[in-house]
A and B are shown apart, each in its own frame.
Chain A
C-alpha cells in the first residue's frame, strides 16, 4: 500500500497511489499527488480537478471523457474542450491521472 502523509497523518492509498478514502482529500494533498505524478498544477489543472470532484459527488463516478471535454470547453473556451488539450494537462490521460489527483477512485474496465 502506498500512502501519503499530511499534517503528520498517514493517508492510505492503493498500490498505484489512488486514495482509499475520498474524504481524506484536500488541496495540499492534491498538490502532493500531482508532484509525484510530475504534473505542475495551474489554474487550468484545478478547473479539471474541481469539475471531477463536483461530478463525482453527484454521480459517484468520474464523468465520461466526452462529458468532461464538453464541460471544460464551456468553462475554459471551445478551443480547450477536446481530448488533446486534456492530455496536454494530464499526460497519462485525464480519466486516470486527473482522477488520482482529485482523490477519486480509478475508473476500471476497458478504458
Chain B
C-alpha cells in the first residue's frame, strides 16, 4: 500500500527517539513560473536571493510585532518538543517546534541582533546558505500551522506565524510551493480552489436538487446569485465536489429550507478557503477576502454565513474586518460573519428546526476539533463556543457521542496531518505519519466505546482522513460532515 513504513498505533502515546534526517527527503513540489507570477512573486529563485531574503525578513519584522517577540523569547525549555504531530509521527528532530523555529531564528540572530552580529554561531546565529534554504523549504512545508505547540509554550510562541513568515520570504525570492500557489492562482482565474467553472457548479447543484427531491419529496434549492437573499453562504469548493463534504452541503440546504430563510451562493465567491494565510501573504489574503465583500454588496444580502471550513473560519472570524471590512452594510443584529454550526444550532435550540436523532442510531460519533477553529477562532457569543457548539449540534442530531482523550481534543486537538497547505499527494508519507496521534486517539474510542464515525467541520480534515484512515486499517467512510448528521436527522415539512 505504501513505499514507506506506516506507524504502529500505540495504546499509550509514545514519544519517539529522535531520528535525525527521517523526513529530510520529503520535499513538496516547488511552484513553477506559472504558479508564482499570478500571485505577484518571481517565477524562479532570484539571483540575489540571499540579500533579498534578509530584506524581506526585515520588512516582516517591522510589519508583524509578534514575529520579533516570538524569535526573541524562546528559552529552549523543551515544552514544545513532543507536542507536534509531525515529530511524534516521524521522529525527525527538525519537526520539533523549537527546531523548526530555529531554522528561522538563527538567520534572524545573524542579521538583526547585536549578539548574533558579534558572536555568530556562539549564539546560534547562521548565514542564510543554500543548504539552510533547502531546510527551510522542506521543514516549513512540514508544519501544518496547527498551533498546538503554542498551547504548551510558556511564552505562547506561535510556530505557525514563523512558518507563515518563512513561506512569505521564500515566495518573495522565487521559491514557492506548487500546491498552495497553484490553488490561489485558480481562485484568481476560475474563482475557487478546485477550478470549478460556473457551468459545472450549476450542473452539480441541479443534480443535487433532483437527488434530494427524489429522496425526501421536498424541493430543497441551492440558489446561486439571488439578489436580495437574506444570507450569503460562503463555503469551500470541496463541498461541491468531494465526499463526505457534499453531504454537509446538503445539510446546509435543508436547514435553510426548513427555517424558511432565503439564501444564496455567489458565483463571485464560490470558495471560502483563503490559502494566502498558509503562505503568510497579507496582500493575497486581502485580494481573496475582497471577493466576499464584493459578492455581499452586489447581491444585497443582510448576513454572511460560512460553511464547514477550518482555516476559512479563522480568516473569517479573526481577520475579515481588517481584510475586507467595514461590514456596516450588513444587518447589525447578527454577528459578521456567522458559522453554519452556530446558525443551525440556534435554529434547533429555538425549535425552528427539529431533528429526529433516531435517523443516526446506526452511528456512534466522536468529534475531531479542527485546529484553526479550535485554536484560531471562536464561535457564538461565549468563550469556548467553537468547541461547544459543534458538539451540541452533533448531540442534537445523534444519540451516541463519545469524546476522544482530553489531551487530543479541544484546544489540545491534534491536527489531521494535512492542514496548512500540506494536503498534497507529494507529501503523502508526511500526511500518513502526521496523522498517527489522531489515529491513536480515534482507535482508542473505537475499541473502548464502539465509536463508528468521526465528524469534522473542515474540508481539509475530511479529505485528509478519507485518504489516511485506510492506511491504519479503518474505513474511509468513517469521516463525516457535521451537517451530514443534521441532514440525516432533520424533520422536513410542517413544524406543527
Instruction: Point out residues on A near B: beta carbons under 8 Å.
Output: 15-16, 58-61, 63-67, 70, 83, 87, 93, 95-96, 105, 107-111
**B236 contacts the other chain (CB 8 A):** yes
A59 near B199 with CB under 8 A, answer yes
**B336 contacts the other chain (CB 8 A):** no
A61 partner, pick from B178, B200, B211, beta carbons under 8 A: B200
Please tell me the size bucket of the interface on B: 35 or more
CB-CB nearest in chain B for A60: B197
CB-CB nearest in chain A for B207: A67
**B273 contacts the other chain (CB 8 A):** yes
Task: Report 14 cross-chain contacts, Cβ distance below 8 Å, ordered by A residue.
Answer: A15-B29, A64-B241, A64-B246, A65-B241, A66-B243, A66-B246, A67-B207, A105-B195, A109-B193, A109-B237, A110-B237, A110-B245, A110-B463, A111-B463
| Chain A residues closer than 8 Å to B240, beta-carbon distance | 64
| Chain B residues closer than 8 Å to A70, beta-carbon distance | 207, 211
Min CB gap B276→A, angstroms: 14
Min CB gap B250→A, angstroms: 10
**B242 contacts the other chain (CB 8 A):** yes
Min CB gap B90→A, angstroms: 22
Identify which of residues 233-255 in chain B touch chain A, using a CB-to-CB cut-off of 8 Å: 236-238, 240-243, 245-246
Identify which of residues 195-211 in chain B touch chain A, using a CB-to-CB cut-off of 8 Å: 195-197, 199-200, 203-204, 207-208, 211
| Chain B residues closer than 8 Å to A107, beta-carbon distance | 194-195, 241
CB-CB nearest in chain A for B204: A64
| Chain B residues closer than 8 Å to A59, beta-carbon distance | 197, 199-200, 203
Identify which of residues 162-194 in chain B touch chain A, using a CB-to-CB cut-off of 8 Å: 178-179, 182-183, 186, 192-194
**B341 contacts the other chain (CB 8 A):** no
| Chain A residues closer than 8 Å to B460, beta-carbon distance | 110
| Chain B residues closer than 8 Å to A105, beta-carbon distance | 195
A111 near B242 with CB under 8 A, answer yes
Instruction: Point out residues on B near A: beta carbons under 8 Å.
Output: 29, 178-179, 182-183, 186, 192-197, 199-200, 203-204, 207-208, 211, 236-238, 240-243, 245-246, 273, 309, 423, 425-426, 459-460, 462-463, 467, 476-477
| Chain B residues closer than 8 Å to A60, beta-carbon distance | 197, 199-200
A111→B194 CA distance, assembly (Å) = 8
CB-CB nearest in chain A for B243: A65
Min CB gap B156→A, angstroms: 29
| Chain A residues closer than 8 Å to B243, beta-carbon distance | 65-66, 83
A59→B199 CA distance, assembly (Å) = 6
Task: With a 10 A CB-CB cut-off, give which of A59, A93, A110, A111 has the most chain B CB atoms.
Answer: A110
The 9 A-B pairs at the shortest CB distance, nearest first, are namely: A109-B193, A110-B459, A59-B200, A110-B238, A111-B242, A109-B194, A64-B241, A110-B460, A64-B204
B242 near A15 with CB under 8 A, answer no
A108→B192 CA distance, assembly (Å) = 10
A67 near B204 with CB under 8 A, answer yes
| Chain B residues closer than 8 Å to A108, beta-carbon distance | 179, 182-183, 186, 193-195
B425 near A16 with CB under 8 A, answer yes
| Chain A residues closer than 8 Å to B467, beta-carbon distance | 93
| Chain B residues closer than 8 Å to A87, beta-carbon distance | 476
CB-CB nearest in chain A for B202: A59
CB-CB nearest in chain A for B186: A108
CB-CB nearest in chain B for A58: B199
Known: A15-B29, A60-B200, A65-B246. A110 touches B273 (CB 8 A): yes
B204 near A96 with CB under 8 A, answer no
B238 near A111 with CB under 8 A, answer yes
| Chain B residues closer than 8 Å to A109, beta-carbon distance | 183, 186, 192-195, 236-238, 241, 273, 459
B193 near A110 with CB under 8 A, answer yes
A96→B428 CA distance, assembly (Å) = 14
Known: A59-B197, A109-B192, A110-B242. A67 touches B29 (CB 8 A): no
Min CB gap A95→B, angstroms: 7
| Chain A residues closer than 8 Å to B200, beta-carbon distance | 59-61, 63
| Chain A residues closer than 8 Å to B477, beta-carbon distance | 83
A87→B243 CA distance, assembly (Å) = 13
A96 partner, pick from B208, B236, B309, B425, beta carbons under 8 A: B425
Task: With a 10 A CB-CB cut-off, give which of B186, B195, B273, B476 has the most chain A CB atoms.
Answer: B195
CB-CB nearest in chain B for A61: B200
CB-CB nearest in chain A for B424: A108
A61 near B196 with CB under 8 A, answer yes
A47→B479 CA distance, assembly (Å) = 28
A93→B200 CA distance, assembly (Å) = 20
| Chain B residues closer than 8 Å to A110, beta-carbon distance | 193, 236-238, 242, 245, 273, 309, 423, 459-460, 462-463
A59→B195 CA distance, assembly (Å) = 11
| Chain A residues closer than 8 Å to B179, beta-carbon distance | 108
A93→B470 CA distance, assembly (Å) = 12
A79→B273 CA distance, assembly (Å) = 35
Min CB gap A31→B, angstroms: 22
Task: With a 10 A CB-CB cut-off, give which of B242, B273, B309, B460 has the most chain A CB atoms.
Answer: B242
Given contacts A108-B195, A111-B242, 7 further A-B contacts (CB under 8 A): A61-B197, A65-B241, A66-B211, A66-B246, A83-B243, A108-B183, A109-B183
B194 near A61 with CB under 8 A, answer yes
A85→B226 CA distance, assembly (Å) = 38
A16 partner, pick from B211, B237, B426, beta carbons under 8 A: B426
